[in-house]
Structure 1
Amino acid sequence: MNVKTRYVSVPERLGLFGLVAGAAALAWPLFTSATGLGAPCPLYAMAGVPCPFCGLTTASVALVHGDVAGAVAANPAVLGLAALAVTVLPLLALRATRVVAAPRPAGPRARRHTEWGLALLAAASWVFQLNRLVLS
Structure 2
Amino acid sequence: MGRQYSVPERLGAFGLAVGAAAAVWPALSAGAGLGLPCPLRWATGVPCPACGLTTAAVELVHGRVLASLGANPALAGLALLTAVTVPLLALRHLGLVRPPRPWTPRARRRAAVTALVAAAASWLFQLHRSGLIPS
Output the TM-score relative to the length of structure 1. Answer: 0.91
Q: Is residue 60 from structure 1 mapped to residue 79 from structure 2 by the alignment?
A: no
Tell me the residue number matched to 1:95. Answer: 92
For the pair 1:86 / 2:83, whether they are aligned, the reply is yes
Q: What amino acid is the match of 1:32?
A: S
Alpha-carbon distance between aligned partners in 2 of 1:92 and 1:99, rounded to the nearest angstrom: 10
Q: Which residue of 2 aligns with 1:6?
A: 3
Of 64, 73, 78, the residue aligned with 1:76 is 73
Deviation at 1:27, TM superposition (A): 0.5
Range moving further from structure 2, 88-97 or 116-125: 88-97
Q: State the distance in 2 between where 1:76 and 1:6 align.
A: 32
Distance in 1 of aligned mates of 2:107 and 2:126: 28
Write out the 4+ residue segments of structure 1 that deviate beyond 4 Å after TM superposition.
none
Q: Distance in 1 between matches of 2:111 and 2:84?
A: 19
- Asked if 1:16 corresponds to 2:10, the answer is no
Provide structure 2 residue ranges, at least 5 long, that are not aligned to the other structure. none
Gaps of 5+ in 1: none
Q: Identify the match of residue 126 of structure 2 among 99, 123, 129.
A: 129
Alpha-carbon distance, 1:102 to partner: 1.0
State the Cα distance separating 1:79 from its structure 2 match.
1.1
